[in-house]
Amino acid sequence: MSETRFAPEDMDRARELLARSYSPSPGDADIELVAASISAERRSRIADAITDKDLRAAHDQLYASSSVRRALRGVLESLAQALLARGVVPKPDDFDGDWWLWWPQQGRGPCQHCGNQRTLRRYSARFGKPYRYLCQRCRQQEVSDNEEYLNQSTGVIPEPGESADSLLLRRLTAIAAQAADMRHPPSRPMELTEDE
Ligand SMILES: [Zn+2]
């Protein structure tokens, strides 16, 4: 532990939390670990009271103590929230790729795309994109970029009033047709025919 700084009230709170949810007679090491976590979270709300590095270290130390971590999940969650507020988000593979389980779904902090302080939502790792926290504006941009990409790559443009299911079906059909063409290239020039 690089630096242990906790106030008497952090120790009291740690004892109380541990006694309630972990063990009636916790050891000193566990109490100090939890007190350090509580202290780090408390100081994260005071300007310049703790560096990003020390805040992340407090989170990681609590995470490393798996038994205490399980019992005091709320403390780990509030450290994650404090880190998100500073734009500190784990890499996709950190913590066995499981960090999204206790990192907040929604919070406030610098957007991972535009960097502005905003209300953020976490978006799932899907379609080749990692877990990421985006502000509403960047998310909308991402969605419309995806739309644009799909329009171009499938050649299927949404029709006015078309349902999402219908659009998805038409795109999947187009993608399947493209895949079939790649496997069996036409031996003679294809004639363009109208559907229907
Ligand atoms: Zn943004």
165: CA distance to ligand 1 center in Å?
29
Average pLDDT over residues 164-191: 81
Binning pLDDT at 50, 70 and 90, where does residue 26 land?
confident
- List the strands of the sheet with 117-123, edge to edge: 106-110, 117-123, 132-134
Asked if the model's pLDDT at residue 190 lies above 70, the reply is no
133: CA distance to ligand 1 center in Å?
9
Asked if the model's pLDDT at residue 115 lies above 50, the reply is yes
Beta-carbon neighbours within 5 Å of ion ligand 1: 111, 113-114, 135, 138
**Cα 25–102–105 angle (5° rounding)?**
145
Asked if the model's pLDDT at residue 42 lies above 60, the reply is yes
193: CA distance to ligand 1 center in Å?
44
164: CA distance to ligand 1 center in Å?
26
Residues with Cβ within 8 Å of 150's Cβ and at least 6 positions away in sequence, in order, are 156, 171
d(CA 101, CA 80): 11
Residue 82: closest CA among 65, 113, 57: 57
